[in-house]
Structure formats: structure tokens, C-alpha cells
Amino acid sequence: MAQRDGRRKKGSMNMGEVLEGKIAAVTGAASGIGLSITKALLAEGVKVVMVDRDAAALAKLADELGGSAIPQVTDLLNPESCDGMVPEILEKVGRIDILLCNAGSYIGGDLVDTNSAAIDRMVNLNVNSVIKNVRAVAPHMIECGAGDILVTCSIAGHAAIHVEPVYSASKWAITSFVQTMRRQLMQHGIRVGQVSPGPVISALLSDWEPDRLQRMKEAGALMETQEVSDAMMYMLTRPRNVTIRDMIVLPSNFDV
């Protein structure tokens, strides 16, 4: 019996849409889910514009990942930088076939224990920058007559999680935005969807109490970033007549 070497040919993971030769832009690409999906796309022959505000990290990663990984330094919390993101990407690579709005931040705990500046920062990053990025790329994709827009949401966009009222509110807003834009853009051949993971081991959980994080790790209630990027790849490789409007991905022992 022939042995399987664990490798796959480009495009072999999908039964429909072939990704090789496409150009993707990924926000929050220097770490976590963003870096994981970047690597997965590169493995399928996609040119990836890695968007992040960390210029040093982007330069290092671009050097490690090769010529198909293109750094784009953008601070999504800076209005001018955010507005310039899509035009700058188009100037560099000519088109955007896939936009992955992945950058985000997290606030947990009681509302009274946070502050207005932290709330503004999180809502601006989790909600406003996504709306702005989609608004900026939509005319380009409409002109092309095709495209994929995929947003990293959260299980918190489906359940009222009492220990994270601000974060949950931002993700409920994103769920509404993604599903309304899916209906607006479907007539132009543009697919819009979201992936809604449960807790993922990433910098997003850096403000979790250490004992809570450790308990959830030991209980198998946290996922690795690759589990989320695998779901994204599945969504992106469906035939063009299929849209995965939302995929909820949970650790098997996550009780919500």
C-alpha cells in the first residue's frame, strides 16, 4: 500500500473553487488566525498581502514566507491609514480577489471595570474598520464581477456571553453587517460570509486571567488557530454557486 506523505497538491483540498493565482488581503496577518490563514493561502498558490500595523513583524514574516507574501503596513485605528489600505494594496498588486477582515481586539469582564478609551478602540477595530474595509473593496469587486469577503466573527456574535458584554456587542454588530452585505453583494457575484470561532489560543486572550486560561486549556475548551483557518479555507474553496454564510467552530468541550 502506498504511503501518504501528508502533503497536498495546490488546489487539491477543494472540490470547486481553485485558489491558485488569486490575490488575497488579510488584516491582522502578523499573528494568530491572520498568520495561520496567510500560510494556508500561500500553500494553495495565493499571493497574500499581509496587512498589519507591526512593520517589523511584517518585514520578518515576508522574508520568511517568500515573494508571494507582501507586507502592507496599515493602522486600522488611524482613519487616514485605514482609508488608504485598499488603494495602496491595489497599487501594489492590481486586484483583490479575497478580502479577509480578521483584525480585532477583545475586552472581557464587567462593563464597569473597563473605560471609554478601551471601548472606543475595540469597537473601532472590531466593527468600524471592517465596515470601512468592505466599503472600500466593494466597488473594485463589483467592477470585477466576483470576489470573496470573509470576516472573522465569534461565537460571541451569536450568544449573549455575560462575561464579555462589549466584545459580544461588537460581534453581534458584525454578524448583522456581514449578513446584510451578503445580500447586497450576492447579485454582483461576490460572496460574503463569516467564521465564528469559540475561544482560540492567541493574543486576543492575553487579558484573560491566567487561572481561567489554564483551566480552559486543561479542559480542552480552547482551539488552535489552524482550526479556524481550516474552516476559512473550506469556505473559500466551495463552488461559486455555494456560499457558506457563517461557520461556527467550537472546541468540543466549550460549553456555551
What pLDDT does 256 receive?
A: 65
Residue 50 placed within a domain: yes
Q: What is the pLDDT of residues 62-121, one digit of tens each?
A: 999 999 999 999 999 999 999 999 999 999 999 999 999 999 999 888 999 999 999 999
Highest mean pLDDT among 11-20, 207-216, 247-256: 247-256
Going from the C-alpha of 85 to that of each of 73, 97, 209, 225, 231, the distances in angstroms are 8, 15, 34, 25, 26
Residues 56 and 53: their CA atoms lie apart, in Å, by: 9
235-254 per-position pLDDT tens digit = 999 999 999 999 999 998 88
- For residue 16, tell me if it sits in a domain: no
pLDDT at 215: 78
* 4 belongs to a structural domain: no
What stretches of 110-200 adopt beta strand conformation (E)?
Answer: 147-152, 190-197
- 10 in a domain, yes or no? no
Q: What is the pLDDT of residues 140-174, one digit of tens each?
A: 999 999 999 999 999 999 998 899 999 999 999 99
Which phi and psi angles does 155 have, rounded to 5°? -60, -25
CB 168, CB 160: distance < 8 Å: yes
CATH number at residue 239: 3.40.50.720
Maximum Cα–Cα distance across the chain = 63
Q: Name the residue with cell 463589483.
A: 142
Tell whether 17 is covered by a domain. Answer: no
- C-alpha torsion angle, residues 157, 16, 229, 130 (rounded to 10): -50
- Which burial class, exposed, middle or buried, applies to 209 when counting CB atoms under 10 A from its CB (0-12, 13-18, 19+)? exposed
**Domain count of the chain?**
1
Domain enclosing residue 102, as ranges = 23-249
Kindly state the cell numbers that stand for 127.
466593527
Question: Is the C-alpha dihedral spanning 207, 209, 210, 213 positive or negative?
Answer: negative
Predicted model pTM: 0.89
Provide the grid cell at 108. Answer: 472581557
Q: Is 42 domain-assigned? A: yes
Give the sign of the dihedral formed by CA 73, CA 79, CA 83, CA 84.
negative
How high does pLDDT run on average in the chain? 91
Q: Which three cell numbers stand for residue 242?
A: 455555494
Q: Which pLDDT does position 7 carry in this prediction?
A: 41
Catalytic site residues?
A: 167
Is residue 7 in some structural domain? no
Dihedral pair phi/psi, residue 190, rounded to 5°: -105, 125
pLDDT of residue 14 exceeding 80, the answer is no
Dihedrals phi, psi of 188, to nearest 5 degrees: -100, 10
CA distance 167 to 57: 26
Determine the pLDDT at residue 1: 37
Residue 5 lies in a domain: no
